[in-house]
């Protein structure tokens, strides 16, 4: 079954430091992978997605992620953290089975940005 | 641009009561998904509909039912509410399979509190 695992439920960085949120996937077929961000008391907003093509994917707010098949990873990075990046981040994989499709999410990583 | 609309945004119910959540997808989107996110948890897939037919079913309790109407809006009906049903309920929509478009669009969520 397709799934994603996020390493680290909490990540804390200083403002201006590199942000690295880890996500590994398990899939027997080429995966479609996503990163979503959730600010407190808000819905899920798509940051970026990988479906096919270029393995380095750029998203909104300066985030990017690289699909590495050899490492089964899709880590999310941002060169310089801003206070406004503090939120919960979810990695997700699109699971197709029996003629239907849905997103399966990881457990989430809460990012704290310290001044 | 029009987004996914969910109502009500907040709902407080007593145990054993019934609640109905509504979801209005992005215009022309034909697929609707319902997710449940408990406190500090990742979103869990409940059920999805494509062209008004149930397309997939996840960890949805038998006390819950849902349907998609001719105008593509969807309703999630929850009966015999339990304390554990307190959660944020997300609706998402897409045009066909996410594999085709690569994205689910999420609403802001409906927060259900069961007392």
Query: Tens of pLDDT along B51-103?
Result: 899 988 998 999 999 999 999 999 999 999 999 999 999 999 988 765 555 57
Asked if A49 and B106 come within 8 Å (Cβ–Cβ), the reply is no
Residue A98 near chain B (CB below 8 Å): yes
DSSP state string for B101-115? H---EE---EEEEE-
Residue B115 pLDDT greater than 60, yes or no: yes
pLDDT band at A54 (very low <50, low <70, confident <90, very high): confident
What are the two backbone dihedrals, phi and then psi, of residue A34, each rounded to the nearest 5 degrees? -140, 150
Instruction: Write out chain B residues lying below 8 Å of A47, CB-based.
Output: none
Helices (H) and strands (E) in chain B, counts: 1, 11
Round to whole Å and give the CA distance between B78 and A76: 36
Distance from CA of B43 to the nearest CA of A (A): 7
**B1-16 per-residue burial string, b: 16 or more CB within 10 A, e: under 16:** eeebbbeeeebebeee
pLDDT band at A52 (very low <50, low <70, confident <90, very high): confident
Round to whole Å and give the CA distance between A115 and B22: 40
Residue A68 pLDDT greater than 60, yes or no: yes
Tell me which residue has tokens 């215009």. B27
pLDDT of residue B101: 55
Asked if A44 and B97 come within 8 Å (Cβ–Cβ), the reply is no
Is it true that the peptide bond before A79 is cis, omega within 30 degrees of 0?
no
Residue A22 pLDDT greater than 70, yes or no: yes
Distance from CA of B25 to the nearest CA of A (A): 14
User: From the candidates B106, B111, B112, which should be mutated to test the interface with A, based on the most A CB atoms within 10 A?
Assistant: B106
What average pLDDT does range A19-42 have in this prediction?
A: 91
Residue B20 pLDDT greater than 90, yes or no: yes
Is it true that the peptide bond before B69 is cis, omega within 30 degrees of 0?
no
pLDDT tens-digit profile of A87-106?
A: 999 999 988 776 677 889 99
């Amino acid at each position: 079954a397709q799934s994603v695992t996020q390493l680290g439920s909490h990540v804390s960085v200083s403002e201006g430091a590199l942000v690295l949120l880890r996500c590994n996937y398990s899939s027997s077929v080429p995966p479609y992978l996503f990163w979503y961000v959730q600010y407190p008391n808000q819905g899920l907003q798509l940051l970026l997605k990988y479906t096919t093509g270029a393995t380095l994917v750029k998203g909104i707010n300066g985030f990017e992620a690289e699909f590495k098949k050899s490492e089964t990873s899709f880590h999310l990075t941002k060169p310089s953290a801003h206070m406004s990046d503090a939120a919960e981040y979810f990695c997700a994989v699109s699971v197709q089975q029996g003629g239907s499709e849905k997103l399966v999410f990881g457990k989430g990583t809460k990012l704290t940005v310290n001044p | 641009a029009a987004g996914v609309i969910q109502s009500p945004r907040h709902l407080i119910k007593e145990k054993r009561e019934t609640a109905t959540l509504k979801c209005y997808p992005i215009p022309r989107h034909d697929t609707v998904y319902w997710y449940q996110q408990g406190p500090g948890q990742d979103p869990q897939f409940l059920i999805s509909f494509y062209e008004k037919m149930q397309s997939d079913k996840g960890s949805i309790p038998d006390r819950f039912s849902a349907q998609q109407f001719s105008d593509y809006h969807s309703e999630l009906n929850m009966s015999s509410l339990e304390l554990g049903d307190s959660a944020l309920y997300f609706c998402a929509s897409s045009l066909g399979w996410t594999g085709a478009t690569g994205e689910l669009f999420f609403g802001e969520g409906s927060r259900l509190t069961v007392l």
